[in-house]
């Protein structure tokens, strides 16, 4: 009869629980994704989710979620486009300018496509805020944009009613703090150092591709949803 060596027994003891946990987590993410699809008509009554990620964020804030559930849900939509993101999508390590500071915050960003990475790095800011969850008060690093409701030329592709009540953010539909609107969160935030910044600047997307995109005049950009977001956040 075949017998496992002690080494392989030890490996199985450690590997099998990890594999089971990963499979459990992925199954949970699929359920969360399906929930967002199911709730889509409530979140976007007219079906227009163009750059409307703040609606996803406000929807999640209004649910009775634990901190971990909230974090997991925030991996399933793109803060720039408002598009859903399939479970298992790998995030990108980026840095974001901190509100009212010369500092940068580093962390992971879940995106639907690479231009969204460049757009959030240039046009969004990071702000640490405290939120109340089922398991207590927790700090998150929110991605925010300035109040767009005072714009004379609000992007026509976006449902303004999702964002605004006159010239002010509509607090029933978006999460507003200090006249800024939250579009999503930065995952696993950390203090940026030279090593992390160098990594971002030398990455083929966050470095080279974003340098090209973020130095291109907006009227010359032609990459879909990100261009709409830029006109909202700029």
* pLDDT tens for each residue of 194-233: 999 999 999 999 999 999 999 888 777 766 566 889 999 9
Residue pLDDT, tens place only, 54-98: 999 999 999 999 999 999 999 999 999 999 999 999 999 999 999
The pLDDT-based confidence of 20 (bands split at 50, 70, 90) is very low
Domain-embedded: residue 83: yes
| pLDDT for 15 | 43
DSSP 143: E
Residues 6+ away with beta carbon under 8 Å from 1: none
Q: Which two tokens stand for residue 75?
A: 């991996």
Domain-embedded: residue 97: yes
Residue pLDDT, tens place only, 137-186: 999 999 999 999 999 889 999 999 999 999 999 999 999 999 999 999 99
- Angle in degrees, 0-180, between the axes of helices 114-123 and 225-233, rounded to the nearest 10: 10
- Angle in degrees, 0-180, between the axes of helices 53-61 and 6-43, rounded to the nearest 10: 110
| pLDDT for 34 | 93
| pLDDT for 226 | 64
Question: 160 lies in which domain range?
Answer: 6-233
Q: Whole-prediction pTM value?
A: 0.86
| pLDDT for 94 | 98
| Helical segments of the chain, H only | 6-43, 53-61, 67-73, 114-123, 194-202, 210-214, 225-233
The number of domains in the chain is 1
Residues 6+ away with beta carbon under 8 Å from 196: 93, 95, 106, 190
Domain-embedded: residue 152: yes
Domain-embedded: residue 223: yes
Domain-embedded: residue 102: yes
Domain-embedded: residue 160: yes
E strand or H helix that includes residue 137: strand 136-146
Task: Tell me the average pLDDT across 184-193.
Answer: 97
Domain-embedded: residue 1: no
Domain-embedded: residue 196: yes
| pLDDT for 62 | 96
Alpha carbons 57 and 175: distance in angstroms, whole number: 7
């Amino acid at each position: 009869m075949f017998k496992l060596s002690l080494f392989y027994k030890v490996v199985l003891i450690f590997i099998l629980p990890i594999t089971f946990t990963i499979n459990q987590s992925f199954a949970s993410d699929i359920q969360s994704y399906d929930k967002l699809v199911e709730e889509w008509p409530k979140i976007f009554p007219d079906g227009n989710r163009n750059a409307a990620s703040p609606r996803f964020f406000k929807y999640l804030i209004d649910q009775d979620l634990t901190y971990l559930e909230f974090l997991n849900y925030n991996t399933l939509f793109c803060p720039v486009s408002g598009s859903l993101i399939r479970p298992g999508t790998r995030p990108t390590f980026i840095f974001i300018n901190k509100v009212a500071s010369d500092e940068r915050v580093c962390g992971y960003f879940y995106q639907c496509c690479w231009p969204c990475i460049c757009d959030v790095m240039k046009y969004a800011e990071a702000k640490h805020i405290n939120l109340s969850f089922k398991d207590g008060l927790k700090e998150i690093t929110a991605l925010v944009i300035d109040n767009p409701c005072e714009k004379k030329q609000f992007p026509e592709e976006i449902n303004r009613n999702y964002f605004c009540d006159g010239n002010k953010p509509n607090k029933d539909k978006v999460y507003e703090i200090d006249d800024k609107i939250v579009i999503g969160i930065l995952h696993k935030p950390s203090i940026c150092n030279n090593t992390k910044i160098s990594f971002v600047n030398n990455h083929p997307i966050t470095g080279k591709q974003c340098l090209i995109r973020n130095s291109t005049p907006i009227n010359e950009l032609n990459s879909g949803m990100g261009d709409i977001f830029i006109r909202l956040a700029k």
